[in-house]
Amino acid sequence: MAVSARASRMWGSRPVFVDIPLTRKSKPNVRRKMITVNALTRKYARTTAVNQISFSVDKGQIVGFLGPNGAGKTTTMRMLTCFLPPSSGTATVAGFDILDQSMEVRRRIGYLPETPPIYPEMATAEYLRFVGRLKGLRGAELEKRVDYVMGRCSVADVKAKQLGKLSKGYRQRVGLAQAIIHNPDVLILDEPTAGLDPKQINETRDLIKDLAGEHTIILSTHILPEVEQTCQQVIIINKGRVVATDSVANLQARARNAETMILEVAPRDGSIQAEQVQRKLEQVAGVSRVQIKDRRNGGFLLETESRKGELVRGDLARAVIAGGWDLNELRPAAMSLEEVFLQLTGSDSAAQEAKPDTAANTPAADSEPAGPPHADAAQGEEPQA
Ligand code: ADP
């Protein structure tokens, strides 16, 4: 027997479906959405860092919040963790409003900012006890949680060591330990592998995946492989706006379904204008994008994109010949997830940002760790216009 009915309701410009209990005996609706964000906006004097973004995260999911540097990821994380008020819009965490019920939200969120919020002169266990007390833990329960998180994050062997003397990998794991000390529903991790070496990156990613069973996780990163390896869902943000929300599997399928062709087009006699060739190729049915890549042998290298199976090769070749040019080369090139990301974020710098996954490409977090937990609440904020 049906115990609930589906009904649609408008939420912003999108319809959402809600379950309506049909009988009084029916169980309370299990909240599946752990985070909802609706038209959240944050303006600084000269910048709109986050512009009307909306998304939701289901309970127990691990979601990648992906975007190039400056996309608005940190600003969003800081609004969700109640350290920065939005200029407009709303968000809820575990059903609590970030503005009206910020204490409830904070209780349910563990936050690891980009620089772990640690006191260098404190020892690991002492620091975790300190954070635990701030989160309202006391006595035996506090000791139990400190022991548990030290074991969970593999930092028990440095429990008496000063945080300032730990390696970055250890510091990051202590940062994760402090974020989960109060067993929050939601974990928000901002660039959690920044500045780590490849081995530490792998260890940290494994730990995050391990934590996903118990917590809903938002992982902010500019590293695409990080999302591929760690997350189920991805929210892609660019210039303060959400440009895609999809499962990693769907994005990968989308990459597999697109076909990129490389063409080398040269003048038959006289000169050649790349833009003219581009316009001609854009008219070929099935071609969704044409990019001028490079100069080559007196001509140009161009790249076209089409759906797999569209069989555009013959038409591309004919278009070049009909244009009065020579076709020196025509070959397929697979479209990578990187290119899908690039297409969505629409900038070369975005691709550069998303591509690397090496220590050399992750920003060095060499600066001394910041002060107290969540002391970054009001740091460096430009007055609002
Ligand atoms: P991300 O985390 O994706 O790199 P941020 O959220 O840090 O991006 O920044 C988004 C935009 O907002 C950038 O253009 C950045 O320069 C601007 N911004 C961030 N913080 C401040 C601030 N405190 N004052 C003024 N502008 C800021």
pLDDT digits (tens, 9 = 90+) for 31-46: 489 999 999 999 999 9
Same structural domain, 223 and 181? yes
148 falls within a domain: yes
Q: State yes or no: pLDDT of 341 exceeds 80.
A: no
Reported confidence tier of residue 28, pLDDT bands at 50, 70, 90: very low
Task: Write b or e for each residue in 186-213: b if 16 or more Cβ atoms lie within 10 A of its Cβ, otherwise e.
Answer: bbbbbbbbbbbeeebbebbbebbeebbe
pLDDT at 357: 40
Do 201 and 156 form a contact (C-beta atoms < 8 A)? no
Q: Which of residues 290 and 362 earns the better pLDDT score?
A: 290
Q: Domain of 189: which CATH number?
A: 3.40.50.300
Domain with 305 in it: what CATH number? 3.30.70.3190
Same domain, 128 and 218: yes
Any domain includes 366: no
Residues 184 and 288 in one domain: no
For residues 291 and 332, what is the distance between their CA atoms, to the nearest angstrom?
A: 14
For residues 140 and 72, membership in a common domain is answered with: yes
Residue 197 pLDDT grade (very low, low, confident, very high; cuts 50, 70, 90):
confident
Same domain? For 69 and 176 the reply is yes
Asked whether residue 111 falls in the same domain as residue 231, the answer is: yes
**Is 106 near ligand 1, meaning CB less than 6 Å away?**
no
230 with 277, same domain: the answer is no
Q: Is residue 179 part of a domain?
A: yes
Residues sharing a CB contact under 8 Å with residue 101, sequence separation 6 or more, in sequence order:
none
Q: Are residues 274 and 228 in the same domain?
A: no
Consecutive H or E run containing 332: strand 325-334
Task: Confirm if 90 and 99 have CB atoms less than 8 A apart.
Answer: yes
Which amino acid is it at 289?
A: R
The model's pLDDT over 239-249, given as tens digits with 9 standing for 90+, comes to 999 998 988 88
Q: Inform me whether the pLDDT recorded for 369 exceeds 50.
A: no
One domain, residues 87 and 234? yes
From the centroid of its chain, how far is CA 358? 18
Of 239, 270, 290, the position where a domain reaches its end is 239
Q: In terms of residue numbers, what domain contains 326?
A: 257-338
Read off the pLDDT of each residue in 195-216 and give the average, rounded to a whole number: 87
Residue 352 counted as domain residue: no
Tens-digit pLDDT profile for residues 138-168: 999 999 999 999 999 999 999 999 999 999 8
* Within-domain flag for 82: yes
**Does residue 228 sit in the same domain as residue 317?**
no
pLDDT tens digit sequence for 254-307: 777 778 889 999 999 888 899 999 999 999 999 988 989 888 888 999 999 888
The alpha helices in the chain, defined as continuous H runs, are 73-80, 102-108, 124-134, 139-152, 168-180, 198-211, 224-230, 248-257, 274-282, 313-322, 337-345, 348-354
**278 in any annotated domain:** yes
Let me know if residue 182 belongs to a domain.
Answer: yes
Residue type, 371: G
Q: Domains in the chain: how many in total?
A: 2
Which of these three, 185, 212, 239, is where a domain ends?
Answer: 239
Q: Is 204 in the pocket of ligand 1 (CB under 6 A)?
A: no
> pLDDT grade, residue 194 (50/70/90)?
confident
How confident is the model at residue 334, as a pLDDT?
A: 61
Ligand 1 mean position to 380 CA, how many Å? Answer: 10
What global pTM score does this model have?
0.69
Please state the rounded mean pLDDT for residues 76-98.
96
% of the chain beyond a pLDDT of 70: 80
In a domain, residue 373? The reply is no
Locate the ligand 1 atom nearest the alpha carbon of residue 74 and give its number: 2
Q: How far apart are CA 337 and CA 234, in angstroms?
A: 12
Of the three residues 205, 239, 273, the one that is the final residue of a domain is 239
pLDDT of 316 > 50? The answer is yes
Please give the mean pLDDT across all residues of the chain.
81
**Does one domain contain both 232 and 263?**
no
Q: Is the pLDDT of residue 324 over 90?
A: yes
**Does the beta carbon of 381 sit less than 6 angstroms from any atom of ligand 1?**
yes
CB–CB of 31/40 below 8 Å?
Answer: no
**What per-residue confidence (pLDDT) applies to 204?**
87
Closest ligand 1 atom, residue 76 Cα: 6
Do residues 234 and 281 both lie within one domain? no
pLDDT for 335 equals 62
Assign residue 136 a region: left if phi > 0, alpha if psi is -120 to 50, beta otherwise? left
Is 79 near ligand 1, meaning CB less than 6 Å away?
no
